Amino acid sequence: MLTRFDADKSDSISLDEFKSAKRKREVPAERLEKMFASLDGDSNGEVTLEELKANWGKGRGKGKGKKRE
């Protein structure tokens, strides 16, 4: 996933890269920003492979795939 989203090949994903990759699925910008923030463990604006491995799936329990209000 990191290599697919990492448009500039910096070995990390920026919020803009994340939004660009996820926009194809028509996810609202606010939700994308929340998703990105949950992955960005050190809040530096970049998601590394280590952060992705550590944080992917957190907060995505039984309600996964269901529309939240």
The domain that contains 48 carries what CATH number? Answer: 1.10.238.10
pLDDT for position 24: 67
- Give the structural domain span for 13: 2-55
> Is 49 a member of any domain?
yes
Instruction: Identify the three-state secondary structure at position 4.
Output: helix
> Is 63 a member of any domain?
no
> Is 22 a member of any domain?
yes
In the chain, the number of structural domains is 1
The model's pTM is 0.72
Q: For a pLDDT cut of 70, what percent of the chain falls above it?
A: 80
For the segment 52-61, what is each residue's pLDDT rounded down to a tens digit? 889 887 755 4
- Phi, psi at residue 15, to the nearest 5°? -60, -40
> Is 67 a member of any domain?
no
- Token code pair at residue 30: 């606010």
> Is 69 a member of any domain?
no
For the segment 24-47, what is each residue's pLDDT rounded down to a tens digit? 677 888 998 999 999 999 999 999
> Is 68 a member of any domain?
no
